[in-house]
Amino acid sequence: MLIEIGPVSQTSALAWLDYGTYAVTELRRLRPASVAPSAIDGFEELIAAWKTAATTNPFHWTTDETPERVEYLMKALFMAGHEIEEGTETHGMKLRPAAADEFHIVLVRQVLDSLSHEGQSNAEFVESLRNEWRIARPD
């Protein structure tokens, strides 16, 4: 399936990538049960690819990926967010900066929109995740 992220401001993409690098480091350190090491590996791979794409303004990136991997990584991103929110109180972790919000919202919504067109089970996954994840809602 084709995944497209953007266009979105380079400033927001860079802010998110800096934060994503920090978050991956913290998730590796804390090893939460809800975020598999293979998902963290996937985040690192994407961050590296997105850093290359972030040399242009606006940021724009496309790739082909299997729906199964997209579901896996989107669920892991959702769970990582919960772990980080909890980690702010228990481990002093930092929340995503406001400058990164535009990129984060575009990423989540565009990827889920693409996934929702891949078949009934994918559409059901997207609907379920949107019910749990406020920023994933298209409204």
* Verdict on whether the full-model pTM lies above 0.85: yes
Strand intervals (E) in 9-107: 59-64
User: Contact at 8 Å (CB) between 65 and 28?
Assistant: no
Tokens representing 104 are 């984060």
User: Contact at 8 Å (CB) between 109 and 138?
Assistant: yes
| pLDDT values of the chain reduced to their tens digit, one per residue, 139 residues | 999 999 999 999 999 999 999 999 999 999 999 999 999 999 999 999 999 999 999 999 999 999 999 999 999 999 999 999 999 999 999 999 999 999 999 999 999 999 999 999 999 999 999 999 998 998 7
**Could you count the other beta carbons within 10 Å of the beta carbon of residue 50?**
20
- DSSP-assigned letter for residue 95: P
